[in-house]
Structure formats: structure tokens, C-alpha cells
Structure 1
Amino acid sequence: MSTDITTLAAQARNEFGKGASRRLRVAGRVPAVIYASHQEPIHVSLDRLELTAAVRKHGSNALLSVDAEGEDHLVLIKAIDQNVLTLEIDHIDLLAVNRNETVDVDVHVIVSGEPAPGVEYIQDADTITIEANVLNIPEELTAVLDGKEIGDQILASDIALPEGTTLVSDADLLVVNFIAPENNAAEADAAAASATEAPAEEAAAESAE
């Protein structure tokens, strides 16, 4: 979690449409819209390299300061459109906030540690939703796997949250599930099938006699 706020210089945008957006991208800029309550959206453009660096540094929940021709806007990333081939940012929507505001955000969940020997895991949820002050949004949350056994689960309520944040996702949301290795499970199924077949074969042999 970081309260380091990157400032980006914005230029006003007066032309719209695909052609205008294409010209901005060719010039190395990204079309952007700042949304705020009780006022019209603000259309600007941002330097692509500066914006990309800020997103890489702070993540998709980056808190940014956008200087739109002398007027500062504290913003969170609302949505990012990326080029499907180059993955460059084609367009970004920003949400204006204030420093005392609390918001609901989806935060990426990473895993750390190792489960017990012979145990595999499946991560069922990549993000969980929390409520946090805009200055207290974690870049990621951690699911700790250490010592987990087959049949164990990590739920959203098991994830440690930073002080001052609360869980919004369902407390019973499955985040990580711990299972037997696939080859072991197959061997167990085969053994069970064999054990079931043996009495049947013996009964058939006895009736034949």
C-alpha cells in the first residue's frame, strides 16, 4: 500500500470520435475522461508513457493526480481499454475523488507459502472487493497457503485486510481450494473401482462352479 501519488499533466480534448482518438494515439497520447459527481465529464488526453509507468507502478487501483490545465483532479482508475494486440492503453476512464472519500474496490489476491506435502491448490478468485479510504487502498492482498491440507479452503473472510478497510465481498467467497494431486486422485479412483470389481468377479466364478 502506498500513498505516493503520481501527477500526470493532461491536455484538454476538444475533438472526439475514432479519427480524433487515433490521431492522439499516433502522437503518443491516450484519450481520457474524468467523471465526477454533479458535473459534466472532463475530456482530456494523457502522455501514454507517463500513464503506463504510473499504472505499472501502482496497479489498476492507482490513485493519481491529473493536472488539467492548472486544475488538479485526484482520481482513481475506473476502466482501462487496452489494444488486444499490443496491450497498450487505448483509452482510460478516471473517477474524481477526494482524500476523505471511502470507495469499494476490487483488489488482486496473490498467494504465498506452500501447502502441506502432496497437496495442490486451485485459486478460484483472483480478486476480492473491499471498502477503503482512497489513500489506504492496498495494491494486493495475500492468501497464505502454509501447512494447508487436502480439503482445506481459504475464504474471503480468511484474508488479512489492512487496518481501516472492510470486506465487501461475501465472507464465504471461495478464494483458494486445496485438493489431492490429479495423479493421486486417479490412482485412488482406480483402486476403488478394482476393489468393487473383485467381489463381483468372485461371485461370478462361484456361480459358474
Structure 2
Amino acid sequence: MADIITLKAQQRTEFGKGAARRIRSADLVPAVLYGHDVEPTHVTLDGHAVMMALKNANALLSIEIEGGETRLAVAREVQIHPIRRTYTHLDLIAVKKGEKIEAEVPLHIEGEAFSGTVVSIEDNTLAILVDPTSIPEAITVDIAGRKPGEHVYAKDIVLPAGVELVQDPEYLIVNVAAEAAEETEDEAAEGEEA
């Protein structure tokens, strides 16, 4: 479970391209906080603080809006400048403790499959339903001793307590296949003669 990261926010009153450019030139990030049947709140956040917070996958953010209101949120849509790699806009979804949300969690593959196999990782994330305060940083998938022809599907992954699978249970995560046989010298010579 990740810690709650606090970000200070200021209410935004200016909108449009010109206002967004002025906000970004001051090393701030325009953002919109919405959810839970509340009117969307337009805010600005410190650019460096946003960059540090979003280094954590599925970061749970405590947004302290100037004037006293504090809301828990997670980043849903993140826009990044294609060249400078700075954050240009955030869509934040308000969440409540005890209410489950959908999250994409990284998978960590551990162990070694049977010798003479090739392991193909088909997907490195898993869609889950979880309390926002209990989002795991990663979920471990053990492939130790797997033989050629064995697979790991989403339904085979052991999930932490309180976590539900959102992904299709038959979704292929890891494929273990036999190594391709190397041609012997005789087979190679026969191929050249033909």
C-alpha cells in the first residue's frame, strides 16, 4: 500500500489556452478534480510536486485546496508534453475511503521456469477493484518450475485480501513455451545441398 501524498492546490478562475499557457509558464499544472456528484473543481498544482507524486503508480493524493477543503483523489487522465516531458494537465477523480475503485497495477514476475523454456510476458499490468487506500504497488506472479505449454491466466494470479479481479479471468498474462531447437550441422549441410 502506498502512502497518501499531499498536494497543495489553488482554485483556478482563468480558463482557455492563454490562461493554461500562463499557468504552465509559472511551473504549475492545470487540473480538474471531479467525482461524487460534486461540481468539477478547477485547480492549479505545483509542477515539481506533481512530477514527484506521479512517480508512484496509482498514487493516492490528498488535494488541499486553498481555503480549507481537502479531498482524496487519484490521477485518471494525465497529459504530458511530448518533448519536454512535463505535465500539461491532470484529470483527478475524487475517491472515498472504503469505496472500491478500478486500478491498473504492475505485475512483478519472479522465479525461473523449467530449463529449455522461453517465457513470454503478454501483459505487465492487471486491472483490479480495490479500496484506494489499499492499492498494492505491484502484484507478484510466480513462474518457478513452469514447463513448456503452461500458461498463467488472470484467474491464476493470487490477489491480496480485499482485491477483486476486473480483467477477463481467461486473459493470458504469461506464456511458457519450449525453446526452438537449434539446427544440427548435418541438417544445415542438407539444407545447403538442396
Write the letter of the residue equivalent to 1:62: A
TM-score (norm 1): 0.82
> Are 2:51 and 1:52 aligned?
yes
Write the letter of the residue equivalent to 1:77: A
What is the deviation of 1:80? 0.8
Distance 1:54 1:72 in 2: 17
Residues 45-194 of structure 1 correspond to what in structure 2 (within 5 A)? Answer: 45-56=44-55, 58-59=56-57, 61-69=58-66, 70-181=68-179, 184-185=180-181, 187=183
Distance 1:18 1:113 in 2: 50
Distance 1:109 1:12 in 2: 37
What is the deviation of 1:187? 4.0
Q: In structure 2, what is the equivalent of residue 26 of structure 1?
A: 25
Write the letter of the residue equivalent to 1:46: L
Distance 2:115 2:135 in 1: 35
What is the deviation of 1:87? 2.2
What is the deviation of 1:113? 2.0
Aligned residues: 187
Distance 2:59 2:97 in 1: 14
Which of the two has greater helix per residue?
Answer: 1
Distance 2:110 2:181 in 1: 25
Distance 1:106 1:64 in 2: 16
SS of residue paired to 1:99: coil
Identify if the C-alpha distance between structure 1 residues 185 and 19 changes in structure 2 by more than 3 Å, giving closer, same or farther: farther
Larger Rg: 1
What is the deviation of 1:185? 4.7
Distance 2:19 2:182 in 1: 58
Distance 1:145 1:86 in 2: 39
The one-character-per-residue Cα deviations of 1:77-109 (angstroms, maximum 9, x if unpaired) are 111111122322111110111112111222122
Distance 2:145 2:18 in 1: 56
Write the letter of the residue equivalent to 1:36: G
What is the deviation of 1:73? 0.7
TM-score (norm 2): 0.88
Give structure 2 stretches of 5+ with no counterpart.
none
Give structure 1 stretches of 5+ with no counterpart.
195-200, 202-209
What is the deviation of 1:149? 1.6
Q: In structure 2, what is the equivalent of residue 204 of structure 1?
A: none
> Are 2:7 and 1:14 aligned?
no
What is the deviation of 1:38? 1.7
